């Protein structure tokens, strides 16, 4: 009996906590006339489907595509550079590796809004601002690479050293043992971390806002801010935009929830 009471209380907490997300979905489904009624309605009486209209009007295909380019680019570079480093840091115990890990953890904490100024000036001087999406990818990779390394490192630490040693006895080089034995075994950890990095980069804002000036190269976060403007009234449209943007993220999260949670907790505290 007590367990059911606890379950009901837990559902209550969750409902209160996730109410803002409900409010976003509800507003998106309301007709614009009903958006501005006071008292507000808490249930859709006459659901509208403005999604296609907002998608086309707000050129969301362009914005979402740019966000996708940034997120995929960031994830690919972080995975290419970070996987090896995570492995090396998990395998080797030496003073140098401790120093390296310390430096990497320190890099993790730099706030992007404070790094935006020097990165912008630097990229401007070497001409990277000419390819703004690539510039954002490089900056965002630097932001997420430490987290990638820290999270991946824990999955490499769980692989027994003996497996690799056996392959080495059979004559495999370090590189082929790494690529053929170790990476496939750590596949799950690498994938979950990559998804997490991808989701984070898909919502990136500071660097995109700072470095991308051409509208057709801007990301979905910047597009949303352009839409919101200083004196917004079209809340119905904004919430519809938000729903289109956020729903795929929420679905990916629901599918991978367990793995994301365990990956996150393992990395942040160890």
Partner 1 sequence: MSALLRSLRDGRGFDAALACLALAYLFAFSAFPLIYNIAMSFQEVDMFSLGDLIRPFVGLANYKTLFAAPEFWPIMANTVIFVVLCIVFQLGIGFGLALFFQQDFIGASYLRGLFLAAWIIPALVAGAIWKWIFAGDFGVLNYLLLSSGLINEKIFWLSTPAISLYSVIIANVWLGIPFNMILLSVGLAGIPKDMYEAASLDGAGPWKRFWHMTLPMMRSTLGAVVCLGIIFTLQQFDLFASLTQGGPANASNVAQYWSWQLSFQNYDIATGSAVSVLMLGLVIVVAFLYVRSTRQEHRA
Q: Footprint of partner 1 on residues 88-107 (CB under 8 A)?
A: 88-89, 91-92, 96-97, 100, 102-107
Locate all alpha helices (DSSP H) within the chain, ordered by sequence. Answer: 2-17, 19-29, 32-35, 51-57, 60-91, 95-108, 112-125, 132-157, 161-169, 174-177, 183-185, 187-202, 206-211, 220-228, 235-269
Residue from 31, 33, 40, 187 binding partner 1 (CB under 8 A): 40
Residue among 216 and 265 whose Cβ is closer to partner 1: 265
Q: Provide the 8-state DSSP code for 216.
A: G
Q: How far is the CB of 39 from partner 1 (least distance, A)?
A: 5
Residue from 113, 188, 216, 226 binding partner 1 (CB under 8 A): 113
Of 137, 153, 176, 51, nearest in space to 100 by CA: 153
Question: Does residue number 1 form part of the binding site for partner 1 (CB under 8 A)?
Answer: no
Residue from 72, 76, 115, 183 binding partner 1 (CB under 8 A): 115
Residue among 209 and 217 whose Cβ is closer to partner 1: 209
Site string for partner 1, 145-184 (x = CB under 8 A): xx--x-----------------------xxx--x------
Asked if residues 211 and 135 have their Cβ atoms less than 8 Å apart, the reply is yes
Residues 230-249 that bind partner 1 (CB under 8 A): 235, 238-239, 242, 245-246, 249
Q: How far is the CB of 106 from partner 1 (least distance, A)?
A: 5
Give the total of residues touching partner 1 (CB under 8 A).
101
Interatomic CA distance for residues 226 and 213, integer angstroms: 12
Query: Which residues neighbour 225 within 8 Å (Cβ) at sequence distance 6 or greater?
Result: 205, 209
Whether residue 39 has a cis bond before it, omega within 30° of 0: yes
Q: How far is the CB of 52 from partner 1 (least distance, A)?
A: 20
- Integer angstrom CA distances of residue 190 from 130, 184, 269: 32, 9, 18
Q: How far is the CB of 82 from partner 1 (least distance, A)?
A: 6
Question: Does residue number 9 form part of the binding site for partner 1 (CB under 8 A)?
Answer: yes
Residue among 17 and 49 whose Cβ is closer to partner 1: 17
Q: How far is the CB of 264 from partner 1 (least distance, A)?
A: 7
Residue among 184 and 229 whose Cβ is closer to partner 1: 229
Site string for partner 1, 250-269 (x = CB under 8 A): x--xx--xx-xx--xx--xx
Question: Does residue number 229 form part of the binding site for partner 1 (CB under 8 A)?
Answer: no
Residues 41-80 that bind partner 1 (CB under 8 A): none
CA 217 to chain centre: 19
Q: Is 193 left (phi over 0), alpha (psi -120 to 50) or beta?
A: alpha
Interatomic CA distance for residues 146 and 181, integer angstroms: 24
Interatomic CA distance for residues 225 and 204, integer angstroms: 12
């Amino acid at each position: 009996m007590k367990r059911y009471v606890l379950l009901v209380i837990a559902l209550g907490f969750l409902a209160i906590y996730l109410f803002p997300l409900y409010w976003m979905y509800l507003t998106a489904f309301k007709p614009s006339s009903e958006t501005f009624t006071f008292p507000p309605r808490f249930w859709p009486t006459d659901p509208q489907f403005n999604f296609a209209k907002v998608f086309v009007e707000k050129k969301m295909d362009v914005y979402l595509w740019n966000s996708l380019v940034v997120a995929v680019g960031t994830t690919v570079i972080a995975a290419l550079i970070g996987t090896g480093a995570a492995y090396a840091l998990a395998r080797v115990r030496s003073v140098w590796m401790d120093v390296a890990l310390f430096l990497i953890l320190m890099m993790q904490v730099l706030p992007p809004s404070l790094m935006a100024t020097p990165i912008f000036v630097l990229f401007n001087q070497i001409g990277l601002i000419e390819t703004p999406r690539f510039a954002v990818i490089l900056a965002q990779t630097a932001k997420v690479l430490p987290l990638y390394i820290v999270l991946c490192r824990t999955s490499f630490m769980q692989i027994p050293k003996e497996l690799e040693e056996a392959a080495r006895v059979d004559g495999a080089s370090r590189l082929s043992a790494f690529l053929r034995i170790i990476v496939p075994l750590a596949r799950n950890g690498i994938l979950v971390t990559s998804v997490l990095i991808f989701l984070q980069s898909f919502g990136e804002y500071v660097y995109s806002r700072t470095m991308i000036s051409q509208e057709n190269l801007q990301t979905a976060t910047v597009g949303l801010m352009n839409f919101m403007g200083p004196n917004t009234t079209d809340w119905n449209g904004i919430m519809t935009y938000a729903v289109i943007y956020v729903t795929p993220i929420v679905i990916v999260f629901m599918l991978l929830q367990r793995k994301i949670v365990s990956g996150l907790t393992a990395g942040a505290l160890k």
